[in-house]
């Protein structure tokens, strides 16, 4: 297979129907009728929020914005565009004091540690609000991030159910356009907004468009690394992605439990 002919296009009508149905059925199983979503201003959380509003009704969805002092105003504004477009309930809770109480204890802390602390503070806020709102926390991680381990364990990966976890980033963009997610959210460079100027693709070292195609061959089509190289992917790129998946596999699995005979 030639990488240039790999097509990740989805049927957006069927996908929309399937994902809203998934949210409704999973809610029914648990006895809940409401959902809580952490809304960052990025495309993934925007799509989860939009799907939840359609599946449950906007009055049954709480979108929570959780800025840190270095968060960009543009991210807050983009999150507000999603709130306005969907009509969901919303709340803004700043996490600066919460995060800084630990961050300032270690002045030499690097940005990765700081970012992980912010992500886990947001998880605490979401689960606290889930008690108040009586709703389940919805996940906002896409398939690309999950496979690459580009997530914080017990941070942004923590959720009760995830409607978009089987969509590659490329497909998230496609479905978001079909559902009317604001263009400003779809078109901007993906970023967790954990520090100024941060973008996902700069951190990863490759574009989502390119890695999605490789992951599709490796995971969905179960091609070998040699077959992926033959398809036109650079050998060092294939090796790096496979190693990253191997190294981060523990993030998407339940912790191993020692069994006593």
Instruction: Determine how many CB atoms are found less than 10 A away from the CB of residue 215.
Output: 22
User: What is the pLDDT averaged over residues 212-229?
Assistant: 97
Q: Which residues are catalytic?
A: 44, 145
Q: Kindly indicate the confidence band of residue 134, based on its pLDDT and cuts at 50, 70 and 90.
A: very high
In a 3-state reduction of DSSP, which class is residue 137? strand
Q: What percentage of residues in the chain have a pLDDT greater than 70?
A: 97
Asked if pLDDT for residue 88 goes beyond 80, the answer is: yes
Query: Which helix H or strand E contains 83, and what residues bound it?
Result: helix 73-86
Q: Which bin fits 232, alpha (ψ -120 to 50), beta or left (φ > 0)?
A: left
Q: Is 256 exposed, middle or buried (0-12, 13-18, 19+ CB in 10 A)?
A: exposed
What's the mean per-residue pLDDT of the chain?
94
The CATH code for residues 3-201 is 3.40.50.620
| pLDDT tens readout for residues 13-52 | 999 999 999 999 999 999 999 999 999 999 999 999 999 9
CA 66 to chain CA mean position, Å: 15
Residue 195: its pLDDT value, please? Answer: 62
Asked if pLDDT for residue 226 goes beyond 70, the answer is: yes
Q: What percentage of residues in the chain have a pLDDT greater than 90?
A: 89
| pLDDT tens readout for residues 194-211 | 666 667 777 788 899 999
Own/partner contacts of 201-205, CB < 8 Å, gap of 24 or more, are: 203/150, 204/148, 204/150, 205/240
DSSP string, 150-196: -S-TTTTT--SB-TTTTS-HHHHHHHHHHHT--HHHHHSPP---SST
Residue 230: its pLDDT value, please? Answer: 96
Domain regions of the chain by residue span = 3-201
d(CA 171, CA 174) in angstroms, rounded, equals 5
| pLDDT tens readout for residues 181-198 | 999 999 988 776 666 666
Asked if pLDDT for residue 179 goes beyond 80, the answer is: yes
Q: Are 169 and 142 in contact (CB under 8 A)?
A: yes
d(CA 72, CA 230) in angstroms, rounded, equals 42
Q: How far is CA 42 from CA 105, 110, 184, 193, in A?
A: 30, 24, 9, 9
Residue 201: its pLDDT value, please? Answer: 78
Residue 3: its pLDDT value, please? Answer: 81
Q: What is the pTM of this model?
A: 0.94
| pLDDT tens readout for residues 53-82 | 999 999 999 999 999 999 999 999 999 999
């Amino acid at each position: 297979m030639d990488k240039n002919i790999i097509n990740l296009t989805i049927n957006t009508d069927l996908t929309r129907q399937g994902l809203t149905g998934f949210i409704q059925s999973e809610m029914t199983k648990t006895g809940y009728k409401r959902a809580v979503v952490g809304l960052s201003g990025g495309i993934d959380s925007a799509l989860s929020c939009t799907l939840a509003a359609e599946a449950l009704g906007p009055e049954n969805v709480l979108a929570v914005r959780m800025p840190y002092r270095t968060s960009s105003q543009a991210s807050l504004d983009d999150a507000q565009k999603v709130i306005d477009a969907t009509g969901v309930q919303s709340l803004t809770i700043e996490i600066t004091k919460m995060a800084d109480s630990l961050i300032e204890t270690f002045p030499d802390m690097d940005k990765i540690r700081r970012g992980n602390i912010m992500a886990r503070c947001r998880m605490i806020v979401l689960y606290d609000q889930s008690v108040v709102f009586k709703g389940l926390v919805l996940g906002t991680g896409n398939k690309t991030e999950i496979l690459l381990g580009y997530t914080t364990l017990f941070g942004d990966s923590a959720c009760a159910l995830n409607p978009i976890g089987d969509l590659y980033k490329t497909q998230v963009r496609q479905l978001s356009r079909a559902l009317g997610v604001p263009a400003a959210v779809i078109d901007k460079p993906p970023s967790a907004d954990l520090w100024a100027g941060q973008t996902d693709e700069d951190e990863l070292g490759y574009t989502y468009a390119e890695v999605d195609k490789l992951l599709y061959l490796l995971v969905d089509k179960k091609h070998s690394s040699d077959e992926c190289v033959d398809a036109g992917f650079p050998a060092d790129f294939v090796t790096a992605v496979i190693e990253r998946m191997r190294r981060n596999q523990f993030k998407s699995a339940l912790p191993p439990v020692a069994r006593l005979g």
